[in-house]
Structure formats: structure tokens, C-alpha cells
Homo-oligomer: A and B are copies of this chain.
Amino acid sequence: MKITCAKDRLNHAVQTVQKAVAAKATLPILSGIYLSAQDNKLELQATDYEIGISCTIDAEVDIPGQIVLSGRYFQELVKRLPGESVEISSSGEDRTIKITAGSSQFNLLSLPAEEFPVLKSLFDKTTGINSLTIKDNVLRDLIKRTVFACATEESRPIFTGALLELTEQDVRMVATNTHRLALKKSLTENTNSSNALKIVIPSKVLNELARLLSSELPVDISICWEKNKVAFNFEDVYLESRLIEGQYPDYNRVIPPDFGTIATINTALFMDAVERVSLMAKDGEYNVIKFQFNPNEVIITSNNPDIGKAYESVPVTTEGTDITIAFNAKYVTDILKNIGSSELYFSLNTPLSPASIKPTNDDNYTYIITPVRTN
């Protein structure tokens, strides 16, 4: 192999695929980045078998070929190379790859390219495959508004991922750890789906995908999936992920159809008060804080015998009956950080039934939170 390419493009490609490089590689080859050069293109790939990412850039290809370089050292090196362009060539004699830029010259040991599990694009399959097209800003929003609600502990794997579902009216994402649930819908007319979509994608992959969806102008994302896999294709990137198997629970049953109390609250004031009150609850077993909804204010309190007591009052407009209820403070602050709206509705029924927090300006975003029983 012998190629020349722009340093900035190479750095972009390396940064794009590097999150798929296995951190603790059970197989040494998975700690590498695969480079394949042909037809004036250089493709970089990395995979840890959960997530696989490929990025293709323009290159001047003098001699086509495939090599694998240590992900860690190649990434660190490319980031720091001087000048505008980089030349990469294999010697053929030994296992080293020569990387030249300006007056810098490096010989990196390579890994055996024939051992690398090269990604095969799902989009190239002709049978048993389903597909959908969606705008990147829509997908990014679905992810960012929900993925934080996934479970972090692995005891029930299905909840470590988020559900991506296509209904007749919308495309939606749902995440829950069974104590709280986030649902975001996007009304879609333009989705061009060949089949039903109901898949559970690991939260780690979704976070990585959201990071890569950073184009300034909206671009189309093609999604295609089969039984155990989903793949995303946009610009110069191909990303595939294993799916989490199992039956996702019926989340519609969790969402109360109506509420006896609805409070309208300023998000920033509420957020600050909840964060201060939760300081005095931090070491408590469940980080529990109490909310007393009155017609014109919500009184937020906590009491930790080892630290002290907190009392806050935030102005609200409450319709319906007064109610006192307790929540895990973290589950409240999580949604306040992600709600993206200056005002919210906090809707409740009884001290022991699920409540809802919604932005006032987006009826397609719902967050359900289960209260904590207190004495």
C-alpha cells in the first residue's frame, strides 16, 4: 500500500472510527484501525463487535492495499502530525508502515490485516433487509432527549438500550430504567420505510452516534436493519451496531392518560432549587426529596440527619388538587437538564402514582417518573 492524503481528513477519519477501537481487546487485532486503499479512496474501520465504524476519505492511491495499525498510537500520532499532507506506505519487507509528514517520519508496527473482521455493509445486502431514511437533526434529537434514561447497570440488558420504533404517525425513541421513562416522537411524512421498525440499540452506541451527527446542515441518514444488527449511513460514515435481544415492555401502559394536578414551572428556577435541595439528600439511601404542590408555589424539602435540612419555594401555577410527593432527586434533575424548554408542566395524580414532566412547547416529548414512598 502507498497513499497520500490530506492530514485534516485523515485526522477526521481516525477520530470518527476511534471510539469503536476495542479498549480492552480480547482479540489483539480489535485494538487496531484497519486501512484499505483503492480507487482513490482510503477507508478506515474499527470494531469491537458491539459497534463498528467506517469512514472513507479521498486519497491519492499509488499502490492499493490493506493494513492494520495500533489504534492508540496511530490516533495519537495523526493528531500531532505537522503540515498539510501525509504519506502512508508499507515496506513489503517487514511489518512496519512508514508514515511521513513534513520532516517527520514514523515507522509503526502493523497488525496482520488478514485477521481483521472487515465490516460488510448491511446496505449491500439484497434480501432480508429493511430500511428507513431520516434527517440527522431528528435522529440526534430523539437520542439526546431519551438516552440518558437508560439503565446503567447490566442486570436487565434490555433496559441498557433505547427502543427505536416506527409507527404510522411518527418515529420515536423510548428509554427507561423502570423507575423513569423518556419518550420522544418525531412526526414524519418523509420516512421511506420498507418494513416495521422496533429495535433496541445499546445506549453506548447511541451516544457515539449522536456525537458523530454534528453536521451543520441537515443531512439524510439511511438506517437499515436485520434481526440482530442495525446500520447507519451518512456522509462519509458507516456505523453498525448489534441489537439488544428481548421483548421491550409496553411503555404505553406506563403513561397515565390524565392527571389531577398540573403545575406550570420555570425550568431554570426549578432546576436550581432542586439541585440545592438535593445537596442535603446526597448521602441518603435514595437521594429522596419532597415536593409540596400548592396553588402558587411548590415547596421542595429534604432532610438528611447526617447533613441537615433544606427548604426551597419556587413560584408555580397549579391547577387541580394540592399534593405532596417524593422523588429521587437525580431522576428529576436528569430531565431538567435535557428538557430544552424554559417552562415545563409537572403533572401528578396521587403520591404513589407515576407523574409526568413535559416541556410546555413540545407535546411530543414525555418523561414519566415513579415517586418514592415516604413516611
Residues of A within 8 A of B (CB): 70, 73, 76-77, 80-82, 96, 103-109, 272-273, 275-276, 279-280, 306-314
- Central interface residue in A76, A103, A275, by most chain B CB within 10 Å: A103
Best-buried of A105, A106, A307, A313 by chain B (most CB within 10 Å)? A106
Whether B96 contacts A309 by the Cβ 8 Å rule is yes
CA distance in complex: A309, B97 (Å): 10
Which chain B positions have C-beta within 8 A of A279?
73, 76-77, 80
**Do B73 and A272 have beta carbons less than 8 Å apart?**
no
- CA of A104 to CA of B108 in the docked complex: distance in angstroms? 60
Bound-state CA distance A368–B76 (Å) is 29
Q: Is the CB of A73 within 8 A of B280?
A: yes
Q: A106-B280, A279-B73, A313-B103 are in contact. Are A80 and B272 (CB under 8 A)?
A: yes
In the bound assembly, the distance between CA atoms of A273 and B80 in angstroms comes to 9
Asked if residues A273 and B104 are in contact (CB atoms below 8 Å), the reply is yes
Contact in complex: A276, B104 (CB < 8 Å): yes
Please report the C-alpha to C-alpha distance between residue A272 and residue B96 in the assembled complex, in whole angstroms: 23
Which B residues touch A275, using CB under 8 A? 80
Q: Tell me the complex Cα distance, A76–B275, Å.
A: 10
Contact A310 B106, CB 8 Å, known A80-B279, A280-B73: yes
Bound form: Cα–Cα A107–B276 in Å: 12
